[in-house]
Amino acid sequence: MSQDKITQIALSHVLLPLPKPISDAKVMTGVQKPMTEVSLLFVEITSQDGHQGMGFGYVLRAGGKAQYAHAQDLAPFLIGEDPNDIPRLWEKMAWQGASVGRCGVAVQAIGAFDTALWDMKAKRAGLSLAKLLGPYRDAVPTYNTSGGYFGTSIEEVCANADRSRANGIRGVKMKVGQPDVAEDIRRVTALRKHLGDEVPIMIDANQQWDRETAMRFGRAVDDLSLTWIEEPVSAHDYEGHAWLNANLDTPIATGEMLSSQESLQQLIDHRSVGFLQPDAPRIGGITPFMSLAGEAAKAGLKLAPHFVMEIHLPLAAAYPGDCWVEHFEWLEPLFEERIEIRDGCMQVPTRPGLGLSISEQTRHWTVASDRYGSA
């Protein structure tokens, strides 16, 4: 049997508008402005044998044009390659961009190609991505984040939490890290009182504390039975997270802002977390994610991938340890399909590949597109 070959690659740069501006602690402290849109890179790959795969990555705030530009540089190098050779093609793309490194925008562009190749591989086999990887479960516990941002009163946060619970979502996360720590504590305490002791609550400081402030806050809320405290200090402060993780009753979660497999490995090596939060599109796609997940499992960590439930759900299903998937409805308009949620869990899709097809509306949000190879 002759080997298959990649014959065409289509790239799209999409700007997805958000229903309303989004603010977290980085906005409250003046580091960033409210977020109004999500920049996405879509990669669609077609092979000589007629197989197709779709992958995507994203950027929040600055960097979307750079991600798309790097994808334009990479695409020609995959034409004529066997799409089955996914790890080798990841390395080939990484070497093409060696002078800009193996983190940040460089690997985030690679991640969209890598995901498309995995999507194609699963479709070729007639399997869902979870079945191709080898699932441990067919449903993954989920928590909602979008209802707990700043700019939302605590009464609205509680109402949003009730709505999420009514829609089958198990846990809720709210933002903390504003300059007034006492107000943060008041809001978290009010949410716990409203939901009762059994509902999982996560809180996220988005890197806005120093170690001492994080410790004081953690001790103040240790008796609230929180599932985790997320990003209490700088994302790159491996030792600070490890110190907090060792000395607080509440587990520490972090990892979403790190943009390479190697940097997340530092969290594992330093015992910095109870919950590791890798983001597949940010670290280069499914290939590095699954390698990292293997290391996390060996270390006995729990897994809670960041954002992009559409990609992370099948990856979490293939994780041997305890895991969560984060519910964000932001990206739903991009796709024709919807993820089913019931009994506190996202149901792992059984459709071939990722089980996603790009919506017609997404074409209207496309600001740039390119094609490489022949039809």
Q: Which domain holds residue 32?
A: 6-126+359-373
pLDDT at 1: 53
Answer whether residue 352 is part of any domain. no
Same domain? 310 vs 368: no
pLDDT confidence tier of residue 2, bands split at 50, 70 and 90: low
- 137 residue type, one letter: R
CA distances from 315 to 115, 278, 309, 340 (A): 11, 11, 10, 16
Q: What's the pLDDT tens digit per position in 289-338?
A: 999 999 999 999 999 999 999 999 999 999 999 999 999 999 999 999 99
The verdict on residue 353 lying in a domain is: no
Neighbours of 162 (CB within 10 A): 14
Does residue 100 lie in a domain region? yes
Position 61 in a domain: yes
Q: Which of 13, 70, 121, 175 is catalytic?
A: 175
Task: Kindly state the tokens that stand for 179.
Answer: 């300059």
The predicted pLDDT at position 103 comes to 85
Rounded CA-CA distance 247/263 in Å is: 23
Tell me the pTM: 0.94
Is 306 one of the annotated active-site residues of the chain?
yes
Known catalytic membership, residue 123: no
- The answer to whether residues 174 and 28 belong to one domain is no
Dump pLDDT digits (tens) for 41-99: 999 999 999 999 999 999 998 999 999 999 999 999 999 999 999 999 999 999 998 88
- The number of distinct structural domains making up the chain is 2
Is 76 in the same domain as 224? no
C-alpha 242/C-alpha 244 separation (Å) is 5
CATH code (residue 62)? 3.30.390.10
DSSP tag of 13: E
Q: Are residues 118 and 180 in the same domain?
A: no
Note whether 94 and 63 are same-domain residues.
Answer: yes
Domain-embedded: residue 1: no
Cα torsion through 114, 324, 332, 163, rounded to 10: -170
Pairing type for strands 35-47 and 52-60 reads antiparallel
Together in a domain, 199 and 302? yes
Residues 106 and 157 occupy one common structural domain? no
Output the six-digit token pair for 57.
């990555």
Residue 248 and residue 198 share a domain: yes
Q: Do residues 219 and 93 share a domain?
A: no
Residue 354 lies in a domain: no
Of 70, 306, 312, 327, catalytic:
306
Helix (H, G, I), strand (E, B) or coil at 86: helix
361 vs 310: CA distance, rounded Å: 17
Give the CATH number, domain containing residue 161: 3.20.20.120
Residue 328, in any domain of the structure: yes
**Helix ranges restricted to H, the chain:** 25-28, 64-74, 86-96, 105-125, 129-133, 154-166, 181-195, 211-221, 238-247, 261-269, 280-283, 286-298, 309-317, 360-364
Instruction: Let me know whether 207 and 314 are in one domain.
Output: yes
Give yes or no: residues 113 and 148 share one domain. Answer: no
Answer yes or no: do 15 and 102 share one domain: yes
Whether 47 maps to a domain, the answer reads yes
**pLDDT tens digit sequence for 86-122:** 999 999 999 998 888 888 899 999 999 999 999 999 9
